């Protein structure tokens, strides 16, 4: 596990590429500062589902009420309506939904930092 605090914001792609290059093992799991694990066994469940030819895609949840800060409302609304997709819907269309939080490290080198 690596934990890093940077003084400059390099952008999502660039920092993930740097971390992927420094990885000692073939699997990557990015847990961003705005992520919260809602189950105590999150990492154990993640590890239990490792498979060399599998992309693991857990879900994303958002608090049911918008944040108090008005500047965060659009992000919350987008998350509620575009990112928070129920497992049964994701499983019905397994190739339709993808987030770059977790996948085999070998796949990662195909995503150039120029993509925004």
- Residue 69: predicted pLDDT: 95
Q: Which range marks the domain in which residue 24 is found? A: 1-39+99-116
Q: Is residue 116 part of a domain?
A: yes
Which of 5 and 52 is assigned the larger pLDDT? 5
Q: Is residue 53 part of a domain?
A: no
**Domains in the chain: how many in total?**
1
Kind and range of the H or E element at 34?
A: none
Q: Is residue 27 part of a domain?
A: yes
Whether 52 and 25 have beta carbons less than 8 Å apart is answered as no
- Residue 66: predicted pLDDT: 94
Q: Is residue 33 part of a domain?
A: yes
- Residue 37: predicted pLDDT: 80
Q: Is residue 65 part of a domain?
A: no
Answer whether residue 58 shows pLDDT above 90. no
Q: Is residue 84 part of a domain?
A: no
Q: What are 17-49's pLDDT values in tens digits?
A: 888 888 888 777 777 777 778 889 988 888 887
Q: Is residue 88 part of a domain?
A: no
C-alpha–C-alpha distance, residues 39 and 84, integer Å: 17
Mean pLDDT over 84-107 rounds to 73
- Residue 91: predicted pLDDT: 84
Mean pLDDT over 65-89 rounds to 91
- Residue 95: predicted pLDDT: 78
Whether 27 and 105 have beta carbons less than 8 Å apart is answered as yes
Q: Is residue 76 part of a domain?
A: no
């Amino acid at each position: 596990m690596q934990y890093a605090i940077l003084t400059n914001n390099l952008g999502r792609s660039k920092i993930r590429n740097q971390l992927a290059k420094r990885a000692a093992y073939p699997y990557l799991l990015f847990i961003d500062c705005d992520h919260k694990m809602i189950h105590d066994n999150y990492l154990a469940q993640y590890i239990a589902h490792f498979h060399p030819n599998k992309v693991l895609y857990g879900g994303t949840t958002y608090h049911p009420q918008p944040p108090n800060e008005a500047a965060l409302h659009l992000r919350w609304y987008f998350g509620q309506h575009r990112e928070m997709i129920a497992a049964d819907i994701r499983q019905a269309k397994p190739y339709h939904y993808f987030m770059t939080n977790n996948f085999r490290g070998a796949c990662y080198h195909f995503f150039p930092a120029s993509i925004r």
